[in-house]
Amino acid sequence: MRKTYRNSSLALVALMLALASQAFAQVGVLQVPAGQKMNLEGVVIDKVGETMTVRTPGNATYQVFVNEGTTIKEKKSNPFRGAKQYTQADLVPGLQVEVKGLGMNSGLLAAREIHFRDDDHIIAQAMDTRVVPVEKNLQDTQVRLGETERNAERLSGQIQELTAITNIVRDDAKAAQETADSAVAMATTAQGTADTARRGVRAANERITMLDEFDVKTATTIYFKSGSSALAREYQDSLGSFADQIQSERGYLIEVAGFASADGDAASNRRLSQRRAEAVIQYLAENFMIPMRRFVTPMGYGASQPVGDNRTRAGREENRRVEVRLLVSKGLTSAPDEVAYDEYGGGTQTSQAW
């Protein structure tokens, strides 16, 4: 019973942490006025050095400064035993905490006391070691969970569109097959009509199988300043030219991948490259009315795929980039009757249009 409860709690905390991470990326961190006393309750969603990010039940995000003078104790329910003492290492993502402190000039909340229940600590520790067994990085898990949701929403529209196109093509194929069936009962002239109908069916099936295959129609690269995800004006113009090419396209997707130089640590570079990719998508969606379902889930690769030498300034500038590609469905761009068949079923090339 206790094990089942604990596993259910782990799943619930992981889900809450993923949602908190997405909201944190969108809303940002609230500032605490200098000198203001504050009591804060919420979930730890990130911890870097002495700075801890806490998400409250009201969807507000604060950053808490924790140092050696901070008292970290158990919020115990048993009055007959002493409270456990903890260290900063126990403040792991997913932990439900109560913080008392004072606002700093930097806008952070300087923690005087931090309390949490021992059961919450056990759940958070278990989650921290199980949810991210490969990289042991909770932020990556939050990003992947968010990507799964966004990808499902964006692809739903694309799937509906492809389904509608498929139904149209299947209707054409059905009509062609009916023509072929009628022609079987006819003489030599009818045999020619049947052969034509069978070729139409095969060509339609070829188009159906190619609907989820894509070609790169065009691509552009956007460069950024060190540590920045802001779009320069010259690259806004480049994105405008890219968007102009989309207007006449059907059945397309836009792939956006962000990258960074090796100046910072790996986690920071991944987050920076993700912000760069999202900045490009936001600019295209807001300024050119491109539906969100047209975008493949943006990915920030950090410094993992350099195109320049990170040991040189020029190489690092080349690596601070976002690559944008226009992908067009082969099933919509290829000639409908590109592959035809002779009366014996052999493949022949033809230039007829369908």
Chain mean pLDDT for the chain: 81
Given a cut of 50, is residue 347 above it in pLDDT? no
Q: Across the chain, which distance is largest between two alpha carbons, in Å?
A: 101
Q: Are residues 113 and 142 in the same domain?
A: no
Q: Choose one of 96, 131, 166: the last residue of a domain.
A: 131
Q: Which residue has the higher pLDDT, 100 or 251?
A: 100
Find the mean pLDDT for residues 250-258. Answer: 93
Q: Choose one of 210, 232, 261: the last residue of a domain.
A: 210
C-alpha–C-alpha distance, residues 256 and 274, integer Å: 10
| 119 lies in some domain | yes
pLDDT interval class at 155 (50, 70, 90): confident
Q: CA 261, 267, 270 angle in degrees (round to 5)?
A: 55
Given a cut of 50, is residue 353 above it in pLDDT? no
Instruction: Give the count of domains, the chain.
Output: 3
Q: Which residue has the higher pLDDT, 67 or 82?
A: 67
Q: Which residue has the higher pLDDT, 296 or 344?
A: 296
Find the mean pLDDT for residues 325-345. Answer: 62
Q: What is the CATH number of the domain that holds 283?
A: 3.30.1330.60
Provide the pairing of β-strand 299-300 with 51-55. Answer: unpaired
Determine the pLDDT at residue 312: 95
CA dihedral of 189, 195, 198, 200, whole degrees rounded to 10: -90
| 345 lies in some domain | no
Q: Are residues 312 and 204 in the same domain?
A: no
Q: Choose one of 153, 182, 210: the last residue of a domain.
A: 210
Q: Are residues 255 and 206 in the same domain?
A: no
pLDDT interval class at 11 (50, 70, 90): low
Determine the pLDDT at residue 197: 61
How buried is 214 (Cβ within 10 angstroms: 0-12 exposed, 13-18 middle, 19+ buried)? buried
Spatial contact of 319 and 225, defined as CB atoms under 8 Å apart: no
Q: Which residues form the domain of 311?
A: 211-333
Q: Which residue has the higher pLDDT, 104 or 193?
A: 104
